[in-house]
Structure 1
Amino acid sequence: MSKLRIAIQKSGRLYEDSLQLLKDCGIFINNGKDQLKVTVDNFPMEIMYLRNSDIPQYLEDGVVDIAIVGENLLIEKQKQVKIVQKLGFSKCRVSLAVPKDIETNDLSYFQGKKIATSYPNTLQQFLNKNNIKADIHVISGSVEIAPNIGLADGICDIVSSGSTLFKNGLRETVTLLTSEAVLAENSDLNADKKKILEKFLFRIQAVLKAKNSKYILMNVPNDKIPIISKVLPVLKSPTVIPLAEEGWSSIHSVIDEKRFWEVIDELKASGAQDILIIPIDKMVI
């Protein structure tokens, strides 16, 4: 039977979140210390732990079928692979940064300057698009130190919280792109592996939908049920259960976490009481 080969980082910022996603999808891994390849017992999948920078090439070459990788890395490496699902974790941005005593945020600051980066292709395309000519110095790591040792006038690197920039006396000025972890696939999967990928995607989407939703239940006077039902952004219609106290019912539904406080305020104003919010583990639509 075919097995879907998936690559994840063997270490780094995506590693723990990738393993947690697999676990949430019911894929259990019994890997020993320092194993680079593991076969999953309860799903037709093999996991390969690879160096982050190598994953796009392995994916394009078909050594692995799919991979959990940063979108920013795929853009930088310019490989012929397909993004099939954004995963919502390890969000970051690729940005320009300058020493904090530089007051301007204008991109023109970089005209004729030296920029240190681990993302030369992404940076060059951005500079070309904005008619900026700069000297790009490619550094594989510790890009933030370049201005302090006189190697560059600024840097281009990934930024999450910005704390690393702050510690090195830098500040962010211009964002080139935003990124998050994605599931990407090789373009030449056979029919069997495509079916396995569809099953895996089904599980991922159930997990992601649950993380972005909350289960809500509340007590409502019966005469307020029509109003409350209109407020709730439900999948189909809310569940209404009569309570022991005459004239009251319990309404159950699902809300998008992004609308959480907006909906809660509307529900209270419409007569809902004893509102409970419960996390959802999986959500299959």
Structure 2
Amino acid sequence: MSPDRNRLHLAIQKSGRLSEQSRDLLKGAGLKLSQSGKNHLAARAENFPLDLMLVRDDDIPTFVADGVCELGIVGQNVLEEYALGQPERRIEELLRLGFGRCSLRIAGPESADEFALDRLQGQRIATSYPRLLGRFLEQRGIDAEVVTMRGAVELAPRLGIAGYICDLVSTGATLEANGLTALADVFDSEAVLIRTRRPIDGAHAEKADALLTRIEGVIATAESKYIVLNAPEERLAEISAILPGAEAPTVVPLIGRPGHVAVQAVCQESVFWETLERLKAAGASAILVMPIEKMML
């Protein structure tokens, strides 16, 4: 499929958890997505000038760096592994997206209590991320042999290919199923929005900025809550300090209740029951906590 140069292009993972979460993010930004018939390599937004390119995750940095796609959503682990192999960085990281979190970790068939990094000296370590692992080892002065594998890395110790592995870990269930324990953190990752450093014409830059603004709004509302409460005016400073992540709450006098005000605030951090209890103890009453459907920063 040749890209339509009148539209913006965004590369995302073709399938898997990151693909689903990327689509959910775009839907949250108000985009109506449709698959292009039997073409499983592309999708189109019906109400925004955007085409999706559905590709392998490790191809996304190349698509964006070469300017085939102006934007991409990819894991930081994939982006950094790609960047370490490039003489110049042709990709700009715009925004962390808050999903797809995982860690690249060294693991082996021993307990974490018995392990020290110097045990890796002279060992073979299997990984799908040789550059990230190589940098980690070099920074710590460890001389180990990096064995590059493209899949089933967790089987390497059992098959005698390597004594240790370096692989992505989210829940740790795969390691446990193969008799392995996470021993050292190499790189923490989450999904990020990236943009090409190649020149983008003015019209496309405006589209990209508009999409970025929508995505920032979706992320901002994910944990944000709108809080409304009544409070004694003399306790206002104390109550404002309790509100999590709130900036400059709106304060309105209550008619018929001298010395009392209504407080309205957007809290950009999680609001727990403990927070409500602290607000009540500080004199707040009639506390309402409501979700925010949309927010434009």
Q: Same fold by TM (over 0.5)?
A: yes
- Report the equivalent of 1:25: 29
Q: How many residues were matched structurally?
A: 285
Preserved contact between residue 253 and residue 262 of structure 2 (Cα < 8 Å)? yes
Displacement of 1:246: 7.9
- Report the equivalent of 2:194: 184
Quote the Cα distance in structure 1 between the aligned partners of 2:237 and 2:60: 53
Does 2:117 align with 1:90? no
What TM-score, normalized to structure 1?
0.91
* 1:61-94 alpha-carbon deviations (Å, 9 max, x no partner): 2221110000110111125311111111101111
Look up the SS of the partner of 2:211 in the other structure.
Answer: helix
Look up the SS of the partner of 2:188 in the other structure.
Answer: strand
- The code of the aligned residue for 2:155 comes to I
**Are residues 262 and 193 of structure 1, via their aligned partners in 2, closer, same or farther at CA, if it must alter by over 3 Å?**
farther
Of 121, 124, 134, the residue aligned with 1:111 is: 121
Look up the SS of the partner of 2:40 in the other structure.
Answer: coil
Counterparts in 2 of 1:191-202, with a 5 A limit?
Answer: 191-202=202-213
**Are residues 260 and 33 of structure 1, via their aligned partners in 2, closer, same or farther at CA, if it must alter by over 3 Å?**
farther
**Are residues 104 and 81 of structure 1, via their aligned partners in 2, closer, same or farther at CA, if it must alter by over 3 Å?**
same
Does 2:68 align with 1:63? yes
Preserved contact between residue 229 and residue 238 of structure 1 (Cα < 8 Å)? no
Look up the SS of the partner of 2:184 in the other structure.
Answer: strand
The runs of 5 or more residues in structure 2 that have no matched partner are: none
- Report the equivalent of 1:136: 146
Quote the Cα distance in structure 1 between the aligned partners of 2:226 and 2:152: 44
Does 2:287 align with 1:275? yes
Of 163, 166, 169, the residue aligned with 1:156 is: 166
Preserved contact between residue 249 and residue 263 of structure 2 (Cα < 8 Å)? no
What is the percent sequence identity of the aligned residues? 38
- Report the equivalent of 1:236: 248
Displacement of 1:284: 1.9
Question: What is the root-mean-square deviation of aligned Cα atoms in Å?
Answer: 2.3
* 1:26-64 alpha-carbon deviations (Å, 9 max, x no partner): 111021465311232211111111111211112212221
Displacement of 1:168: 1.1
Displacement of 1:239: 4.1
Displacement of 1:262: 6.2
What TM-score, normalized to structure 2?
0.87
- Report the equivalent of 2:264: 252
Moved more, 138-147 or 264-273: 264-273
Quote the Cα distance in structure 2 between the aligned partners of 1:220 and 1:103: 52
- Report the equivalent of 1:35: 40
The runs of 5 or more residues in structure 1 that have no matched partner are: none
Preserved contact between residue 97 and residue 156 of structure 1 (Cα < 8 Å)? yes
